[in-house]
Amino acid sequence: MKTFLDCIPCFVRQALDAARLATDDQAIHEQILREVLRKILELDFSQSPPQMGRYIHTFVRELADVKDPYRRIKDKFNRLVMDLYPELKSKVDCSSDPLATAVRLAIAGNIIDFGIRPDLEESAIKDAVSHAMLAPLDGPMSQLAKRIPEADEILYLADNAGEIVFDRLLIERLPMEKVTVVVKAGPIINDATLTDAVEVGLTKLVKVIDNGTDAPGTILDDCSEAFQQRFDEADLVIAKGQGNYETLNDLEKDIFFILKAKCPVVARDLGVQVNESVLQRSQSAPAATKGGEHNATR
């Protein structure tokens, strides 16, 4: 998905958020904001939003001289959702359709996105859980349920810290010996890295690798060779969040996108309303594996 002009004011706001997390010095905030406006002018708007975001956040980290402005927030939300984990796990275990419930919760967890909601509070996570449990989820749930036992290699592309606790609930419903979870290789917004996977106990359950980049999505050409090979070999990819959708939606690959549509640009591209829960299969998924359901319904 290319960057829309609507993304530009959002990048400016994100840069300001990151600057404020990196330092309390207001003069530096203004300096960073001005430098970022200059930087945006240099960029090619035809790139995907995560590519643009990667340039901008790398630039902000350099200007602020802070390696990971979101580290404290990531730790906080990992802890916060780990505290909810027993209650959430019981929701899954007691459900009449545990896989679908785990998918719903994985969508709820996608609210923890500091690129979109820098002021997120704990109450919003609980609201998102309640909403996700009740909201319509018209996507190809039965296709996903069918594909999981058929697949030999399942790649689970994680999105954000805190959110990966919700992902753990879904991962625990998959054949874990076949699952590889993928995190980012370096800090970018509140995207999960290996530190987060360790913090929420994922590394004890499944294989966790990084994709070799610090883009807030999966820009295949920039990813490590090791990741690219694993991506090629995987016969089922579960991709969490807007950034993975924005970077992988045009690809010839069987991918199930699981996310909350949080911005108007992505919502429009998905054909849904802002805040809607989304389970969507890639347009290019092989017809033979679709089990008779419509492609890319939600």
Could you list the residues that contact its own copies (CB under 8 A)? 5-6, 8-10, 12-13, 16, 26, 29-30, 33-34, 37-38, 40-41, 45
Residue 223 DSSP one-character state: S
Q: Are 183 and 217 in contact (CB under 8 A)?
A: no
Q: How far is the CB of 1 from its own copies (least distance, A)?
A: 16
Select 118 or 140, whichever has its Cβ closest to its own copies: 118
What's at 91, amino acid-wise? K
Q: Which residue has the tokens 């108007």?
A: 264
Identity of the residue, 28 or 135, whose beta carbon is nearer to its own copies in the bound complex: 28
CB of residue 171 to its own copies, shortest distance in Å: 36
Q: How far is the CB of 10 from its own copies (least distance, A)?
A: 7
Task: Give the nearer residue to its own copies in terms of CB position, either 9 or 86.
Answer: 9
Phi-psi region of 210 (alpha: psi -120 to 50; beta: other; left: phi over 0): beta
Alpha helices in the chain (DSSP H): 7-22, 26-42, 49-64, 71-93, 98-109, 122-134, 141-150, 163-171, 194-199, 225-233, 241-248, 264-270
Q: Which two tokens stand for residue 81?
A: 């959702």
Cβ 103 vs Cβ 258: under 8 Å = yes
Backbone φ and ψ of 196, nearest 5°: -70, -40
To the nearest whole angstrom, how small is the minimum distance from the Cβ of residue 241 to its own copies?
A: 22
User: Whose Cβ is closer to its own copies: residue 175's or residue 264's?
Assistant: 264
Shortest reach from residue 6's CB to its own copies, in Å: 7
Residue recorded with tokens 């309640």: 130
Q: What backbone torsions phi and psi does residue 154 show, to the nearest 5 degrees?
A: -110, 125
Could you tell me the two tokens for 261?
């549509």
Q: Report in angstroms how near the CB of residue 20 gets to its own copies at its nearest.
A: 9
Instruction: Report the first-to-last Cα separation within the chain, whole angstroms.
Output: 18
The two three-digit tokens of residue 20, written as one number: 């404020």
Considering the complex, state which of residue 176 and residue 274 has its C-beta at the smaller distance from its own copies: 274
Compute the least distance from the CB of residue 14 to its own copies, in Å: 9
Nearer to its own copies by C-beta: 8 or 145? 8
* Beta carbons of 128 and 41 less than 8 angstroms apart: no
Q: Name the token pair of 268.
A: 């429009």
Q: Give whichever of 38 and 204 is closer to its own copies, judged by the CB atom.
A: 38
